[in-house]
Amino acid sequence: MNKLYEITKMLNSGDYYVKQYALDALRRFDSILPSCVSELKDFFAAEKDAALKCAVLKLFTQKKISGHFEFFAGNISNCEYILKNAFLDYIGETGETAAKDYLVNLFYAETDPKVRSKAVKTVALLKHFQTGFQLEKETVFDFLNDADARVRANACAVETDFNDVIARAEFKKLLSDSSPRVNADAAVLLYKAGDNDVLRYAVEKLEGASSTAGRSSMLYAIGRMHGADNYPIIKKYLSDPDHNVRRNAILSAGALKAKEAVTDLLDLYFCEMKQCRENLSVIIGALRSIDEFDSTMAALDMLNTSGEDNYRRATLVKIFAHFATADMAHYLVTYLDDTDDRVRANAIEAVCFLKERGAINSDFVVKNILVSMCDPNSRVVANAVRALYLCGVVSVISVLREMLLSNVDAVRDAARHAVTYFPDGLFVLNS
């Protein structure tokens, strides 16, 4: 605990970076003592820098240090929006029961739409998790009829009594809203409230949408209406020209847990390698949501039928590692001896990823990767060095240091790439 006190005392420094370091270090402790909480509050009240004050709020939010709503509320009234939003995150995470009036008053008094919309989102969060959280009907209607689309969209998450005909009508009005996001959120809410007809509305809206925002929003909505026939509706949008539309189609396939989408998503992975690499992790996430076993077997089947297509084989090896279990690790080992350099290099990366996932242990890695240190390809060797180092074979970094001094560009490039995975300061790179 002495170290905790020492770091907390660093907040008294006049140096910005020392205070920043102290706040970052405090986040790594499992718990914060009450005396340190008191010092953090004193620091928050005295500090002028918004970023440091925001870091304090994030620390309280991360550690779920509750019971300090009144203190923070009294110290942020004249602050910029980023600090107010951090406070709203704190309220939502700690479930401060005394915050209802504050949130409603903030909605009416605040001029910044980003803060007002976040206040409504926080109201929805508290109402969902607190059974005693009551909200006047007129306040909800004010949310729904606000001039800002973000507020109206977030208002769709506020749980409401749909037995009230007037309340249901107010939400239905949002299906004709000018904002596609509001249309989508209202449709999802109404569907969950038992109005199955909104699925037909969403499909018609999707098929008639001329903008990418319109298509993206309706794909999002349909993905959250769990009908058996919904995947065929969104399937064709996996090949939409716009990457954001494709992303929402991918997310919807995952949300629907549509097993028939697994092969389609794996095929799309190869397209996104060239078109939008940001969508690759989205595809992996969707496959994981659908079914990890089915995704593993589909990737394995594609691997077994990839034939002489080296690029396809190299890519599938890495995809396979996202889902493979310990008893499937031997499939990856066979690709360590592949005739193609990329496949062998990717197979090592895949084995590393299995180790990071906890599917295999260090002994398995060392036993199967050690021979790759003799590979004729420099990238394979560099990847093998990284894999062995991760398993505690520290002496192999001398090989990487020698590769960094090589006169061969390809060898140096492979080593430089591998170095990026090592701790900072372990290697000195010459420009």
Delimit the domains of the chain by residue range. Answer: 325-430
| Sign, Cα dihedral of 113, 217, 286, 269 | negative
Q: How many CB atoms lie within 10 A of CB 279?
A: 22
Helix, strand, coil shares, percent, the chain, to 5:
75, 0, 25
The CATH number, out of the four listed (3.40.50, 3.30.465, 2.40.160, 1.25.10), of the domain defined by the range 325-430: 1.25.10
Nearest alpha carbon to residue 334 among 323, 320, 322: 320
Whole-prediction pTM: 0.82
Q: How many helices (H) and strands (E) does the chain have?
A: 26, 0
Rounded distance between C-alpha atoms, residue 327 and residue 359, angstroms: 9
pLDDT for 421 equals 75
pLDDT tens across the length of the chain (431 residues): 578 888 888 999 999 999 999 999 999 998 888 999 999 999 999 999 999 999 999 999 999 999 999 999 998 877 888 999 999 999 999 888 788 899 999 999 999 999 999 999 999 999 888 877 888 999 999 999 999 999 999 999 998 888 888 988 999 999 999 999 999 999 999 999 899 899 999 999 999 999 999 999 999 999 999 876 899 999 999 999 999 999 999 999 999 999 999 999 999 999 999 999 999 999 999 999 999 999 999 999 999 999 889 999 999 999 999 999 999 999 889 999 999 999 999 999 999 999 999 999 999 999 999 888 888 888 898 888 888 888 888 887 788 788 888 888 888 888 888 777 777 766 655 55
Going by the DSSP 8-state scheme, the letter that residue 320 receives in this structure is H
